[in-house]
Chain A
Amino acid sequence: MRRALAIGLALLATPTDAAAAEEPRFVAAVAGGALLFSSGWSATSSYAEFAEAARIDAAYEPGPGVALEASLAMRITRRLRLATAFDWTRRNGEAAIDAQLPHPFFFDRPRRIEASASGLERTERASHLDLEWLAVEGRVELAVFAGATALRAEADLVERVDYAHEYPYDEVSFRSVATRRVSSDLAFGWNAGASLEWRFSRRLGLALQARYVDARPELTAPGGETVRIDAGGLQTVAALRVRF
C-alpha cells in the first residue's frame, strides 16, 4: 500500500520541464463549481379574466447556483490555445410578484396582490469558443481567455396567481402561484475569464477558473410578452485537466 502510494506521488511529481519540448497538444477538462451571481430581471405575464386582462409583474432574483463544464482546448502556438467549452448552470431563485387582477363586475378596478414565489428554477446551456493566451512558470499555468458564446436558457415564469375571493370581490387573498417553464431560442453573446492551473504532472493539472458569460436570450412570458434576460453571470469552477 505504502509502495503504491509512493509510486503514485512520484508519477504526479514528474517534472513538467523535462517534457516541455514535447508538450501535449490537447487539453481536456471537466469542472464543477458555483455560479456566484447573475442578474435579476423582470417579466410581465397577462391572461384574460373577467373580460379584462390580468397582469402579473414579476421581478425575478436568481440565487446562487451550480455550474458544470466540460472543455477541450488545442494548442496552436506556444502561447495560444483554441478552446471550446460546454457548460450547464442551474440556480433557484425568487420572484416578487405584483399582480393586478380584474374585478368581476367593473372595468378598471383591479384587485392587487403583492406576493412572492420561491423555488423558481433557471437553467442555462452554453457553448463557448475561446482563444486562450497562456503564461507558464514552472508548474503554474495562467490562462486568460475570451470568445463567443451561444446560450439557451430555460426558466420558470410566473404564469398565474391563484387567489380566493368572495362577494363583493373587492379584495382577494393570495393562495399560490402557478409557474410555467419556458425555453429561449439560441442567443449569442460573449465570455471572458482566466484560469490558474497547478500541474501535478505532464498530463494532469488542477485549475481554478473564473468565467464571466454575457448573453441575452429572449423568453416568451405566458400571455405573449417577450422579455430579454441577462443570462450568464460569473461562475467559478475547479477543473481537472488532462493533456494528451
Chain B
Amino acid sequence: MPPAYRNALLLMALALAGLGAGATSGDDETRPAGARIDALAARGELRLVRVQEDADFPGRRHLRYDQVVGGARVVGAQLVRQIDGEGRTLSVHGRFLEGLAADTTPALRAEQAARAAEAASPWGARAVGEPELVLLPLPAGARLVFALWVRFDQNLERIFVDARTGAIAWRYDDLRTEAAVGTGTGVWGDRKKVSADSGPGGFRAEDRLRPPALTTYDLGQSLSASSVTFTGGLLDPARVARSADNNWMDGAIVDAHVYAGWTYDYYFKRHGRRGIDGRDLPLRSVTHFLPPSLGFANAFWDPFQNAVYYGDGDAVYAPFAGAIDVVAHEITHGVTQYTWDGIYAGESGALNEAFSDIMGTAAEFFHEPAGEGRMRADYWLGEDLAFGFDPPRSAVRSMQNPSAFCSETLGICDPDHYSRLYRGPLDGGGVHHNGGIASQAFFLLVEGGLNRTSLRRVLGLGPQHRDKAERIFYRGFTSYLTPSATFADARAATIRAALDLYGEAEAAEVASAWAAVGVQ
C-alpha cells in the first residue's frame, strides 16, 4: 500500500473518530446492535449494499451497510453485521456517525465537479467514472462533496470536490500496487494476456502470478545498455519493460514475456517441473538487444544471468521473441543447464540443441493448434520468425526432414541419420546441424513414417500420444544423460524412460525410432 493511501486512511480514521460516536460492538452487545441496525435501516439511515457468504462458516453471512444521510452516502461510515443461518446477529463492526445531519442539495452539477477536479490536476487529467454525491466527514465537519477519480500520466487520484463551492475538499493517490493482468499485442499482431505488476509508476513486465519471478527487460536497442547488460552482467532494474496503461504494444516485449510464461506452464503441466532449476529460479527475458544497424537476428541463453536475450531481427527476420518454439528452445537450454548440462560441443552439444528443439516444438504443440501457417504448431523450427512465412525458406530447421536445410559454410545438409554425422570443427562440431538426428528420432516416435536415409519405417506412438513421447524424451534426457552424452546414450536413456513410464511396447517404438536414424 502506498504511503499516500495509508495517510489517507489515517486521516479518515481521525475524522471519523472526531465526528462522533463510533458504533463498534463486540459479541456482548450484538443483540441490541442488531436491532439498532434494523431500526436505522428502516429509517433509511443505513443502506444494505452487500451480502457476502461466509467462506469459513457455511450459513453465516456478512451484511454491509452504508450510512446514508439525505440520500448521500457517508464516506467511510459503514457497518458490517455478521448473521447466522437463522438471521441472528453475531457481531457488528464498523463506524456510524451519530447526529450527522446535512443539507444534501448540491449547488454544482456532477459535470461541473468533474471539470473542477480536472482543472485542479496536472494538464491532461481526465475524470473517470461517474461522480458520486457523498458526505465527507472531516475534522471540521461533514462536507457535501462529489467523489470521483481523476487519471493523469501514470496516476490515479481520488478527489472530493465540494458540491457547493467547487473547491477540492480532499484528495489522495488511489493507485495500488498489485499483480495485474493486462493485454498485449505480439510480434504478429495477435492479442495476448500479459501478467504484469502494477505500481505508482505504471505497469512493469514482472509476472507476479506464476511461482517464479519472470521478468522482461527492454534494452531499447541501445548499444551501451546492451553492452553493460550482457558483457557487464548487470541487469538494471530500471530496464524492466514498462507500460503506462497495461496495454502492451511492443510485440517483442509482449511475446518474450508471455511465451516465457507459457513455457513455464508447459514444463509445469506436462512434466511437473518448476522452472529451469526445478525450484522456481527467477527467469529473465532481455529484449531489444543491440541496435538494428547490427542486425542481430538471433536469440541465446545466458547461463550466468539465467536470461534469454532476443535480437530484433533484420530485413528477413522479425524480433526473435515472436515464436514460441524459439523462446521455449532457449529456456530449455536453462533446463539442460540445471539437469544433465550437456557439453556444448560434439555429440553432447548436438543432443543439447536437439533437446531444445524437441521441447520447443513440444511447447508449441501444447499452446498452439496444429497446422500450417503462422502461429500453428508444426515440426519446423523458427518458422514464424521470417516476415514472409514460407518454410523451409522461412524456418531454421526441420524435425520432420532435417536435410531440407543445408549449410554453405559447413558444406552439408543437416543430417537425418547418424551415418551422415558432421564431424568437422565448425559450429562446435555441428551442434546445430547434428541435432537433426535426435530430432528426427523424436518426430518418428510421435508421427511415425519413413527415414529418408535408412528408408526404415517407424510405426510411432501417434500424435494422440504426443504427451508420451514428450515425457519419454524429457525423462530420458533430464534424468539419465550426463554432460558427455552420445547419441547411443540418448537412445539408452529414452528406452529406459519409456520402460519407467509406460512399458515394453512404448520402449520398442523408441528403439525403432532410434534405429531408423542409425543410432543403435
Contacts and interface: CB of A to CB of B under 8 A. Distances in A.
Asked whether A and B interact, the reply is yes
Given A105-B193, A106-B193, A178 B181 contact: no
Nearest to B190: A107
Q: Interface size for chain B: under 10, 10 to 19, 20 to 34, or 35 or more residues? A: 20 to 34
Contacts of A156: 51
Contacts of B131: none
5 contacts: A51-B182, A106-B193, A119-B51, A168-B268, A178-B50
B209 A51 contact: no
Given A176-B54, A178-B52, 17 more contacts: A51-B246, A103-B193, A104-B193, A104-B209, A105-B261, A105-B265, A117-B53, A119-B51, A159-B50, A162-B53, A162-B55, A167-B211, A168-B268, A175-B53, A178-B51, A180-B50, A181-B49
Interface of B: 48-55, 61, 181-183, 191-193, 195, 209-211, 246, 261-262, 265, 268-269
A176 B59 CA distance: 11
A169 B61 CA distance: 27
Contact of B193 (A107, A168, A176, A179): A107
B55 A176 contact: yes
A167 B191 contact: no
A179 B48 CA distance: 10
Contacts of B192: 107
B49 A180 contact: yes
Nearest to A156: B51
Interface of A: 50-52, 103-107, 117, 119, 156, 159, 162, 167-169, 175-181
Contacts of A178: 50-53
A106 B55 CA distance: 27
A177 B209 contact: no
Classify the interface of chain A: helix, strand, loop or mixed: strand
B220 to A, nearest CB: 26
Contacts of B48: 181
B265 A168 contact: yes
A117 B48 CA distance: 18
Contacts of B182: 51
B52 A107 contact: no
Contacts of A176: 52-55
Contact of A169 (B51, B183, B209): B209
A104 B268 CA distance: 16
A223 to B, nearest CB: 15
Nearest to A103: B193
A134 to B, nearest CB: 37
Contacts of A169: 209
Given A167-B209, A167-B211, A179 B181 contact: no
A106 B266 CA distance: 14
B149 to A, nearest CB: 15
Contacts of B246: 51
A103 B192 CA distance: 12
Nearest to A162: B55
B227 to A, nearest CB: 34
B82 to A, nearest CB: 13
Nearest to B258: A105
A119 B48 CA distance: 15
A156 B63 CA distance: 12
A168 B195 contact: no
A159 B53 CA distance: 12
